[in-house]
């Protein structure tokens, strides 16, 4: 029996859902890599980590954990010993004692960034037009409409709690830096990626390259899998 190859577990960010990983999953599977997606409740950071840990408990063998945007905080909060590498896709990476909001707001956003505030239901939604302006401006109009329709809102409770010691201090990290991101400034992404000593790949992509540049996303993930598989 040879060593078991790593499984890729993909965590979606706020205002997205599991379908945002669809193209990447197909590419990983065509490369012979097992990939798993799951739904984050986005109700609190603790709830999201619980959802992640339930998925990790079902995976046999080592894991490469991938997080988009907000989910960067989620993937670094698990204590699972199965996780051998972290991959951030335009991901947020608060350090111990910081909140997601702290790092999200570290540097000034540009004029295309949407104004974020809780709605009447207490949750933060993205206006439909924001998907074409800031979230996935490189996607087709049809994809932008679908993303807006399927978006999962996030609770302010998920982004306002200080995190514990993040896992990126203990396992290697990869970071896809999105240079045309209007949700998380490029400068903010670079600060977090360099602080983690991550393997950085910078590309002229938007905030959701899993949809608009899936080949680039898959390449970064495969690099981490090959590293873990030795």
pLDDT, one tens digit per residue, over 142-162 is: 999 999 999 999 999 999 999
What's the Cα-to-Cα distance from 193 to each of 9, 66, 89, 106, 172, rounded to whole Å? 20, 14, 10, 13, 11
- Other CB atoms within a 10 A radius of the CB of residue 143 amount to 16
Q: What is the DSSP letter of 162?
A: -
Q: Which range is least confidently modeled, 4-13, 57-66, 112-121, 158-167?
A: 112-121
pTM: 0.97
Q: Which two tokens stand for residue 20?
A: 């945002």
Task: Identify the pLDDT of residue 1.
Answer: 44
3-class state of residue 74 by DSSP: helix
The residues spanned by each domain of the chain are 7-229
Superfamily of domain 7-229: Alpha/Beta hydrolase fold, catalytic domain (3.40.50.1820)
Q: Which two tokens stand for residue 61?
A: 């063998």
Query: In degrees rounded to 5, what are phi and psi of residue 117?
Result: -155, 150
């Amino acid at each position: 029996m040879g060593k078991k190859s790593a499984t890729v577990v993909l965590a979606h960010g706020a205002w997205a859902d599991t379908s945002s990983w669809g193209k990447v999953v197909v590419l990983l599977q065509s490369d012979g890599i097992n990939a798993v997606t799951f739904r984050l409740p986005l109700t609190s950071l603790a709830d999201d980590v619980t959802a992640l840990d339930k998925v990790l408990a079902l995976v046999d063998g080592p894991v490469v954990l991938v997080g988009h945007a907000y989910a960067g905080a989620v993937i670094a909060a698990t204590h699972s010993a199965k996780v051998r590498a972290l991959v951030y896709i335009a991901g947020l990476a608060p350090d111990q004692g910081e909140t997601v909001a702290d790092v999200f707001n570290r540097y000034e956003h540009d004029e295309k960034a949407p104004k974020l505030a809780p709605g009447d239901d207490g949750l933060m939604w993205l206006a439909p037009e924001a998907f074409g302006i800031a979230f996935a401006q490189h996607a087709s109009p049809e994809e932008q409409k679908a993303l807006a329709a399927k978006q999962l809102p996030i609770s302010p409770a998920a982004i306002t709690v200080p995190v514990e010691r993040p896992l990126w201090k203990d396992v290697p990290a990869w970071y896809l830096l999105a240079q045309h991101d209007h949700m998380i400034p490029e400068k903010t992404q670079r600060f977090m990626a360099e602080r983690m000593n991550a393997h950085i790949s910078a590309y002229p992509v938007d905030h959701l390259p899993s949809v608009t540049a899936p080949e680039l996303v898959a390449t970064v993930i495969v690099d981490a899998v090959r590293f873990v598989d030795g």
